[in-house]
Structure 1
Amino acid sequence: MKTHFAIPVALAGVLGLAGCGSDDSSDAASVTKLACGEITTAALGITGLTVTATETVAAGTVTPSGADSALPQHCRVTGSIDPHTSPVDGKAYAIGFELRLPTDWNGRFMFQGGGGTDGVVNPAYGNILGGGPTTNALTRGFAVASTDGGHTTESAPIVGGSLFGLDPQARVDYGYNAVGRTTEIAKAVIRRFYGADAGHSYFLGCSNGGRQALVAATRFADRFDGIVAGNPGFNLPKAAVQHAWDVQAFSSVAPLDTDGKPIIASAFSNDDLNLVAAKIVEKCDALDGLADGMVNRFESCKGVFDPAELACAGDKTATCLSREQVVVLNKVFDGPRDGSGKQLYSDWPWDAGIGAGGWRVWKLGSSTTSVPNAIIATLGGGSLPYVFTTPPTRVTGDGTNVVDYLRGFSFDIDAPKIYATDLTYTTAAMTFMTPPNPSDLSKFKGHGGKLIVYHGGSDPVFSYNDTRNWYAALAAANSGDASGFARLFAVPGMNHCSGGPATDKFDMLAAIVDWVEGGKAPDSIAASARAANTAAAAFPTRTRPLCAWPKVAVYKGSGDVEAAASFSCQ
């Protein structure tokens, strides 16, 4: 059954109204409408835009993976924006995009955030975020846009997604400009297709899409009314420095192959990580008043859990960690530092999701050779030399070249390069990748914008603590309380965007719409466990409230321990 959100004003009013705080013109009603097949480069006449294809997609012909229903009838538009040839690598670049325009439109626009290093135009269905969503924004009647970030992933092994970092403009497009230009073009096409501007505009994204979301809240504050940023890597170049830190730490305790190179995935076995997770649960689970396998007060676990308790008294066995492994765990969770002891990124919370597959796949991988497949050593290993440091370092993806680069990364000499510029690369990575002033959302707040940020406590890629510290700074910049326009939600146990021993299924789209259009600020957001999430197999029917920081879900003392109704945010 198709679901619609109630539009709080008469439809005629919406269709004649520019989005709240948007930079759209107010004369949309006077434009000549274009049918789907009439949306062409010439008909739109927008500088820098090439429409490559349009098609009317019949209702019921496309069912996204995991969705419980097929997509409605809609117009699909693809194109490119601002093509250029790189003066550095001689390659052609442009901002690729897709826009899907439902026939039964609800008067809203959503920008769908990207992921990783982008490089591909993902179908603009409008992911509502959380694990295992069965619906999307397009099905709910939103017009939805997505972009490839201004480049196309190349076929080179490991580094193919990062080679665009050789081009100065492609870097900036990836950092923020592709979002700004795609939003501008999408809104112009919406106006011509529907003969009206969107009544409200939203941005939803997780991971790099969460970073894009927080960047949009600062650089494009007047173009969005509601923004959801999930597990945001808003300090992504700093997090990439952590990747090198982790690789070096894990390499120090990994067994060596016949060439003397570390097999990183074997630094910690699955049993080792499960041992750590079990001890975290033992020590910290009941801090929220109930021992239920989830550490709701995971922020309080530091100082309660000490991995030294797991150290073997003698030789390494299946029931303990070597003393060297304990040192490495503490080093990884303390975060990267330079030779003087200065912290270069963030520390990390202890949470139960360290034993889940979503933690291993990022941090350690499963490779049985010295050529790692951990995502920090592949995705991170390519982006750090090519995109996040200046000047770029040309590293091939053959053999162990990328991991060798990470193992040789200097935290005194190389880490400062995320702030560096030169005559060719005039914008530093920490400038084009991050919000200009992360704690200053005065422009977004000023036009009535609302922001929801959520982050998994067991995220192995971007530290929850970094996001919490950002939110504390945001609150401080707003007389100690930013909750009137921005709220942070921790997801205990959740890995990167989903997974882990967590209630990781939730509907952030409904929550942000309710806040923007209904004035209902979310004190809590309903979340549930998923049968498909094996890390949550011990509680397959569990529901919990996700609580607005600094509150956490606490058991009321009676009632079904698997039901959200038995918990309150305290």
Structure 2
Amino acid sequence: MNAMGWMRMGAFAMVACLPAAAQADGEVCTQVATTTLETAGAEISSSKMQEAGSGLPKHCIVTGLANQRVGADGKSYAIRFELRLPVEWNGRFLHQVNGGNDGVVVPALGDKRDGMASGGTVPLARGFAVLSSDSGHSGSDPANTSLGLAAGAAFGLDPQARRDYGYAADMTLAPIAQKIIAAHYRKKPEYSYMAGCSNGGRHTMVAAERMAESYDGFLVGNPGFDLPRAAIQHAWDLQALVKADPDIRKSITRDDARLISSRIIEACDALDGIKDGLTSNMAACQKAFDFKSLTCASGVTQGCLSEAKVDALKTIFAGPKNSKGEALYSDWPADGGVGTGNWRAWKVESPVAPWNNYPIIATMGAASLNYIFSTPPIAVEGSSGKLIEALLKYDFDKDAPKIYARNEMFKESAMDFMAPPEVDDPKLAALRKAGHKMIIYHGQADPVFSVNDTIRWYEKLNANLKGEAAGSVRLFTLPGGTHCGGGITLEKFDALTALTDWVEKGKAPDQIIASINPANKEIPASWSPARTRPLCPYPTYAAFSGSGSIEDATSFVCK
């Protein structure tokens, strides 16, 4: 057998052969061991040693796949994964769950998104063994090319692919990764973590209920835990914006977006005790700012918005409803980051292909809402124009209930396989019984998943736990932050260390220090590049203490 390969033995076993002496320093990708996998059909595709470079340590890269099969749609499926094993291992395992519609095995570095890197150092470089996967489907299947921009969601035609995307791939891979790690290092991980942003945050929240015992800590960023309901918002947005201008790209222009942001900051900036360009006191801001204040007075055309544009904004921020006035998702808060960062890209206009200058969500959202989140799935032509048309025709009375629908072929609804099982009544009993921890962070101006929805989830959990939710879960909101990075905000922070300190040392995070991302071009010139702020656990916020530099986190308290 090839010394760098793993081979299946029967349906369950994988073997690697190298002299035992070569294993002593951990610098090889395989080891004399027979690892019996309890998941049938798993196999290793390749393993190779990667020398140190580009900020990464010397490490082993293992690729593999599990559960190869032919789907109900006649296409081939498998759960593909990558596991990176650093030579200098810190004893920890991190399952990096990815965003969007998945479908790609991204490099298992631990990700560079806010909250997961320390001083720009990714978790792999900090010594974590890291796993990533495509969640059971390929987003670039050549058989889907005729679907154009909808191809990445076409796996929704297969019930098992839906289930894998929702939760089953994570449940399949966790024990596989643990066994490979144990064989490679000759000991199990001391601590295991799961982390991700957006859909990755959803994966993590789902895992905290479905497989709470598998991970000691869960790091959740801008979570799409309510993703099927949030997808309805995308149709709601476009139907509101097209009334402001038939060309959606002109409904809220870049100048309009800057105006909205500046007016919210003007109304809410000082509510945290100091004028610093941040809407830290988000709760008070909702009373201080009214979108009506943006409306142009008679004869005025500058520094204001038309009544049609204001009506569109008010409709969007109120959240989607059916004809009975029943909420289908969530409302949204006013925050100084609205209109900045990636807000317009998701809501109004994407700056680059492949979305042909239309909103990202017009393509990703329309395809997902129809192929993945509707039962039965609805085929949609894959041009950006056809996808937008699908959202503009979406019926909130007839189509919205399809996210809860099941049939003989699709026995789980979209809410069944995508959301945490207790999404509307969380208790996290298994997580609490195991003594495990969760940190959630969420941008207040997130245009994809409303921070208000996350806050309501947390408040319900806290009510169920009689005010003791903070013993297991803490939520941090980012003033000015948009979707998984960007906005007028301080977006560099190390929530992963905060989580490991909580799990391993019992040190609960009373604040997490955030600093400026120098790559963020929207940071006001008046801000010091060295500015820092505490991120505070909800419901507290960073308030000025009354003395000290406004550029220094030590001048602020969580109030």
Both structures adopt the same fold (TM-score exceeding 0.5): yes
Partner Cα separation in structure 1 for residue 278 and residue 270 of structure 2: 9
Partner Cα separation in structure 2 for residue 316 and residue 419 of structure 1: 47
CA positional deviation for 1:128 = 5.9
Partner Cα separation in structure 2 for residue 398 and residue 49 of structure 1: 37
2:416 corresponds in structure 1 to 431
Letter in 1 for 2:150: V
2:527 equivalent to 1:541 = no
The within-5 A match list for 1:132-531 is: 133=117, 134-154=120-140, 155=145, 156-254=147-245, 262-314=246-298, 317-366=301-350, 373-438=358-423, 439-531=426-518
Label 1:484 to 1:105 Cα distance change in 2 as closer, same or farther (>3 A). Answer: same
Is 1:157–1:398's contact at 8 Å kept on the other side of the alignment?
A: yes
CA positional deviation for 1:111 = 0.5
Is 2:115–2:496's contact at 8 Å kept on the other side of the alignment?
A: no
Letter in 2 for 1:499: G
Give the stretch that moved more between structures: 537-546 or 508-517.
Answer: 537-546
Task: Spell out structure 1 runs of 4+ moving beyond 4 A.
Answer: 32-37, 39-46, 366-372
Partner Cα separation in structure 2 for residue 360 and residue 452 of structure 1: 28
2:106 equivalent to 1:113 = no
CA positional deviation for 1:314 = 2.9
Number of residue pairs aligned between Structure 1 and Structure 2: 523
Label 1:167 to 1:437 Cα distance change in 2 as closer, same or farther (>3 A). Answer: same
Is 1:132–1:530's contact at 8 Å kept on the other side of the alignment?
A: no
Cα deviation 1:199-256 (Å, max 9, x = unaligned): 11011111000001100100010001011101001000000000110011111112xx
1:555 corresponds in structure 2 to 544
The 3-state SS of whatever aligns with 1:509 is helix
Cα deviation 1:235-290 (Å, max 9, x = unaligned): 00000000110011111112xxxxxxx32111011111111111111111111111
2:76 equivalent to 1:92 = yes
Partner Cα separation in structure 2 for residue 399 and residue 284 of structure 1: 37
Letter in 1 for 2:408: L
Letter in 2 for 1:352: G
Is 2:80–2:136's contact at 8 Å kept on the other side of the alignment?
A: yes
Cα deviation 1:326-370 (Å, max 9, x = unaligned): 111000000000000000000000001113131111111147999
Label 1:42 to 1:153 Cα distance change in 2 as closer, same or farther (>3 A). Answer: farther
Partner Cα separation in structure 1 for residue 105 and residue 344 of structure 2: 28
Give the stretch that moved more between structures: 295-304 or 226-235.
Answer: 295-304
Cα deviation 1:434-466 (Å, max 9, x = unaligned): 000131211001111011011100000000000
Give the stretch that moved more between structures: 422-431 or 131-140.
Answer: 131-140
Is 2:29–2:184's contact at 8 Å kept on the other side of the alignment?
A: no
The 3-state SS of whatever aligns with 1:545 is strand
Q: Percent identity?
A: 46
Partner Cα separation in structure 2 for residue 38 and residue 446 of structure 1: 36
Cα deviation 1:21-52 (Å, max 9, x = unaligned): xxxxxxxxxxx979845479986566220211
Partner Cα separation in structure 2 for residue 330 and residue 316 of structure 1: 20
Partner Cα separation in structure 2 for residue 306 and residue 72 of structure 1: 51
CA positional deviation for 1:398 = 2.2
Partner Cα separation in structure 1 for residue 116 and residue 517 of structure 2: 8
Partner Cα separation in structure 2 for residue 290 and residue 37 of structure 1: 55
The 3-state SS of whatever aligns with 2:230 is helix
Partner Cα separation in structure 2 for residue 330 and residue 372 of structure 1: 24
Label 1:399 to 1:377 Cα distance change in 2 as closer, same or farther (>3 A). Answer: closer
CA positional deviation for 1:515 = 0.5
The 3-state SS of whatever aligns with 2:270 is helix
Cα deviation 1:182-213 (Å, max 9, x = unaligned): 11110011111111111110111110000011
The 3-state SS of whatever aligns with 2:373 is coil
Pick from 17, 42, 46: which aligns with 1:53? 46
Label 1:428 to 1:40 Cα distance change in 2 as closer, same or farther (>3 A). Answer: farther
Label 1:36 to 1:491 Cα distance change in 2 as closer, same or farther (>3 A). Answer: same
The 3-state SS of whatever aligns with 1:349 is coil
Letter in 2 for 1:59: A
Partner Cα separation in structure 2 for residue 168 and residue 315 of structure 1: 57
Label 1:115 to 1:552 Cα distance change in 2 as closer, same or farther (>3 A). Answer: same
Question: In angstroms, what is the RMSD of aligned CA positions?
Answer: 2.0
Is 1:311–1:323's contact at 8 Å kept on the other side of the alignment?
A: yes
Unaligned runs of 5+ in 1: 1-31, 64-69, 255-261
Label 1:41 to 1:341 Cα distance change in 2 as closer, same or farther (>3 A). Answer: farther
Label 1:564 to 1:166 Cα distance change in 2 as closer, same or farther (>3 A). Answer: same
Cα deviation 1:442-491 (Å, max 9, x = unaligned): 10011110110111000000000000000001111111221111100011
The 3-state SS of whatever aligns with 1:522 is coil
The within-5 A match list for 1:12-27 is: none
Unaligned runs of 5+ in 2: 1-19
Partner Cα separation in structure 2 for residue 382 and residue 420 of structure 1: 18
Is 2:362–2:384's contact at 8 Å kept on the other side of the alignment?
A: no
Is 2:64–2:80's contact at 8 Å kept on the other side of the alignment?
A: yes
The 3-state SS of whatever aligns with 1:80 is strand
The 3-state SS of whatever aligns with 1:79 is strand
Letter in 2 for 1:135: T
Partner Cα separation in structure 1 for residue 193 and residue 352 of structure 2: 44
Label 1:132 to 1:530 Cα distance change in 2 as closer, same or farther (>3 A). Answer: farther
Partner Cα separation in structure 2 for residue 303 and residue 139 of structure 1: 45
Label 1:242 to 1:399 Cα distance change in 2 as closer, same or farther (>3 A). Answer: closer
Is 2:96–2:196's contact at 8 Å kept on the other side of the alignment?
A: yes
The 3-state SS of whatever aligns with 1:75 is strand
**TM-score, reference length from structure 1:** 0.89
The 3-state SS of whatever aligns with 2:493 is coil
Label 1:512 to 1:289 Cα distance change in 2 as closer, same or farther (>3 A). Answer: same
Letter in 2 for 1:150: G
The 3-state SS of whatever aligns with 2:292 is helix
Letter in 1 for 2:124: L
Is 2:65–2:79's contact at 8 Å kept on the other side of the alignment?
A: yes
Is 2:182–2:188's contact at 8 Å kept on the other side of the alignment?
A: yes
CA positional deviation for 1:318 = 3.1
CA positional deviation for 1:139 = 0.7
Is 1:128–1:508's contact at 8 Å kept on the other side of the alignment?
A: no
Partner Cα separation in structure 2 for residue 435 and residue 237 of structure 1: 12
